[in-house]
Structure 1
Amino acid sequence: MSKAPQNALLRRLPLIAILSVAVIGAFTLRDYLSFETLAQNREALLTFRDANYLLTVGAFIAAYVVIVGFSLPGATIATLTGGFLFATFPGVLFNVTAATLGATIIFLAARWGLGEKLAAKMEGSEGAVKNIKDGIDENQWSVLFLIRLVPAVPFFVANLIPALVGVPLHRFVISTFLGIIPGGLVYTSVGAGLGEVFARGETPDLGIIFEPHILLPMLGLAALAALPMVLKLFKKDA
């Protein structure tokens, strides 16, 4: 095997590892990273937290980073757990930090394995592909915040797209951290109220983010993020 194919394979190994673990985890961990597991172990978790607060914070963030970084099932449950263990604040800070770190792992793996080469090809292409690349480049901040603020965009996809179009690392990290705060705050607050939910023997309403009083403000933020792109279009047409 020549050196070039070997180097290409080595660059793709982190992304291959992430995808492999994600597939295995989807079949083996779904029953463990669940609301039922959290409900069954809630007293033990609270007891351990009270006795080892800083250790619990560190272990929680590390586990959350692994869940997101390897696209394992249970990210929503992890967010609820952050609220349950640490209240809305500082729980939301722990959740958003861990999710951002995990997202950055995926971003770097995708950029190292595919993104840099693909972005260079798109930059050197012509026609529609080049126009799409140029459009993203001209409005990177707006696009990055939009894919974070619109609930319909899957988190994994929002981590991959920036890597494949050559977004700088610092822009990805900043937009991810700030862009996931609204949704993270909603689910963390739901997690903070799990004590009452457990007492009633119920399950939390995870569709709350689509309730009008939650969804409309988030869409308003998305519209604000899209405003610079709209203004640029009007300037071009003028």
Structure 2
Amino acid sequence: MKKQYKLIIFAVIIVMIAACDHHFEWSSYLGNANNLAFLSTLVKENPILALVSYTAFTVVGSVVFALPGVTFAVVAGIMLGPWLGIIACLFATTLGACIAFLASRFFLKDSIKPLLEKNKLLQKLLFSDNEKNSLVILMITRMVPLFPYNIQNFAYGITGIGFWEYTIYTFIFMFPGVSFFTIGAAGLTAGQDSWKYYLTAAVLAVIVTIAGILIKNKYLNPEYEEVS
């Protein structure tokens, strides 16, 4: 019965957030260039409100609507620019990942298992008898582009990893991917200097790709490859 109550409580929270989104049309901002322009103006006029709005959007988007992780980096780059955007995106996506982790651990353990069955590679990696420490597992899943951001966040909640360990490693290993997507997105509004952002993002993308391949080859042995 306790599990049912937890699931009901979580469902009520989700319904309330979804109702607010329907009323205030938060999610529509992504599909409208005018709204993104408004947010860029808001950054100049009220940067604190802009950061709070972006953080709220990212947390709701990652926990409730399961938007792709790249979405938040692109919005951060356009809205906040490259450097502030990287910091804001890292903070907000880590916060969203932590909330999803806690929701899974305390409310959704039984509901997450069927979701994991759709990603056999992630399931195998997280629950394999071949022991890997938490640092290695989080490095693999956050840096190798085979594991959806949102599924990871919920999946870790049903593992034995500690909350702070998860939080710190998530922040560290999301940094490279967040950086090149955010810098690349910032180039969309950089005018004549856009090539600098695109070049920087391209170099970072190559570095991250090579790092991901090396990590995959080193840690994802043929046993894991068979279930991918």
TM-score by length of 1: 0.67
Pair 1:143-2:131 in alignment: no
Q: Give 1:182 deviation, angstroms.
A: 1.1
Secondary structure of residue in 1 paired with 2:28: coil
User: Any conservation in 2 of the 1:83–1:189 contact (CA below 8 Å)?
Assistant: yes
Match of 2:64 in 1: 70
Match of 1:80 in 2: 74
Secondary structure of residue in 2 paired with 1:13: helix
Q: Give 1:156 deviation, angstroms.
A: 1.6
The one-letter amino acid paired with 2:164 is H
Question: Equivalent of 2:169, from 175, 191, 196?
Answer: 175
Q: Give 1:217 deviation, angstroms.
A: 3.1
Is the alpha carbon distance of 1:222 and 1:149 closer, same or farther for their aligned partners in structure 2, counting shifts above 3 Å?
farther
Question: Equivalent of 2:54, from 21, 40, 60?
Answer: 60
Q: Give 1:47 deviation, angstroms.
A: 2.3
Between the aligned residues of both structures, percent identity stands at 21
User: Any conservation in 1 of the 2:72–2:93 contact (CA below 8 Å)?
Assistant: no
RMSD over equivalenced CA pairs, Å: 4.0
Match of 1:32 in 2: 28
Match of 1:92 in 2: 86
In the alignment, the residues of structure 1 paired with residue 10 and residue 144 of structure 2 have an alpha-carbon distance, to the nearest angstrom, of 25
Alignment of 1:214-233 (within 5 A): 214-220=208-214, 226=219
Q: Give 1:19 deviation, angstroms.
A: 7.1
In the alignment, the residues of structure 1 paired with residue 53 and residue 35 of structure 2 have an alpha-carbon distance, to the nearest angstrom, of 16
In the alignment, the residues of structure 2 paired with residue 111 and residue 105 of structure 1 have an alpha-carbon distance, to the nearest angstrom, of 10
Larger radius of gyration: 1
Long gaps (5+) in structure 1: 120-128, 231-238
In the alignment, the residues of structure 2 paired with residue 14 and residue 100 of structure 1 have an alpha-carbon distance, to the nearest angstrom, of 23
Match of 2:224 in 1: none
Long gaps (5+) in structure 2: 114-123, 222-228
Alignment of 1:154-165 (within 5 A): 154-165=148-159
Q: What is the number of residues matched between the two proteins? A: 200
In the alignment, the residues of structure 2 paired with residue 214 and residue 140 of structure 1 have an alpha-carbon distance, to the nearest angstrom, of 20
In the alignment, the residues of structure 1 paired with residue 103 and residue 27 of structure 2 have an alpha-carbon distance, to the nearest angstrom, of 27
The one-letter amino acid paired with 2:79 is L
The one-letter amino acid paired with 1:190 is G
Is the alpha carbon distance of 1:178 and 1:55 closer, same or farther for their aligned partners in structure 2, counting shifts above 3 Å?
same
Q: Give 1:150 deviation, angstroms.
A: 1.1
In the alignment, the residues of structure 2 paired with residue 103 and residue 14 of structure 1 have an alpha-carbon distance, to the nearest angstrom, of 19
Secondary structure of residue in 2 paired with 1:218: helix
Question: Equivalent of 2:4, from 3, 9, 16?
Answer: 9
- Encode CA deviations 1:34-76: one digit per residue, 9 max, x unaligned: 3x41x23343223222111122112211221111121343653
The one-letter amino acid paired with 2:7 is R
Is the alpha carbon distance of 1:103 and 1:183 closer, same or farther for their aligned partners in structure 2, counting shifts above 3 Å?
same
User: Any conservation in 1 of the 2:103–2:154 contact (CA below 8 Å)?
Assistant: no
Is the alpha carbon distance of 1:142 and 1:163 closer, same or farther for their aligned partners in structure 2, counting shifts above 3 Å?
same
